[in-house]
Amino acid sequence: MTVMPLPPSPGAHEHSSVDLANSTIDLPGGKSADALSTPEATTEWLIERGLVDAGVQLQSYCQNRLVGLRGDLRSAFAACAAGTAVDQRALDGINAALTSAPNASLLHFTPREGFFRSLEHPATQLVEHAMSVIAEDAATLLASDEARLLEQCEAEPCLRFLLKTHGRRQWCSTRCGDRVRAARSYARKRAQANAGSTRSA
């Protein structure tokens, strides 16, 4: 069943790492949506964010690597939001992504152009380049003062990440906030009805 994804949470536009962490969504009723569910969907997700060029087609190996980084980011972000120790394997995964892309301009030669230098990202390295950009964003976020703003949505089962825009904890979207408020209102009414029936008994 296709589920319409929620709008971007606060901070996802500014941080590609938050955007990637939130690319899978759990919704009530056992529904879910995963923007990286297939190699084609993963390619489209990266193209839409300018992380790979249009016309590129990644394979399942590349998809799996990006999904792996997403898991590492979610683990690190959850630890940051909860104020707990992070799993070393998640840090290792993020650091591996940080150093996976070539960072030196390679020397090339063609008879027409002569010598020139450029960063080369063959098809097998495209996802590594994208992962290094996302991991750099995550490392910068987690090591900055902005990390204290990182939270998880409190509207279960949604556990997307967001950056708080004010002092109180908030939800990742209006839809999640409305759902929590409706659940609280229902619980209050049910408690009042139960109290009334107890008194009349």
78: CATH: 1.10.3300
Structural domain boundaries, residue 61:
16-153+161-169
Does some domain include residue 52? yes
Does some domain include residue 188? no
Does some domain include residue 122? yes
Assigned token pair, 131: 């992962």
Does some domain include residue 94? yes
Does some domain include residue 3? no
Does some domain include residue 5? no
* Calpha distance 190→1 (Å, rounded): 32
pLDDT band per the 50, 70, 90 thresholds, residue 135: very high
Q: Hey, is 71 helix, strand or coil?
A: helix
Taking only the tens place, the pLDDT of each residue in 75-120 is: 999 999 999 999 999 999 999 999 887 666 678 788 998 888 776 6
Does some domain include residue 64? yes
Taking only the tens place, the pLDDT of each residue in 180-195 is: 676 676 667 776 667 6
Number of domains in the chain: 1
Does some domain include residue 32? yes
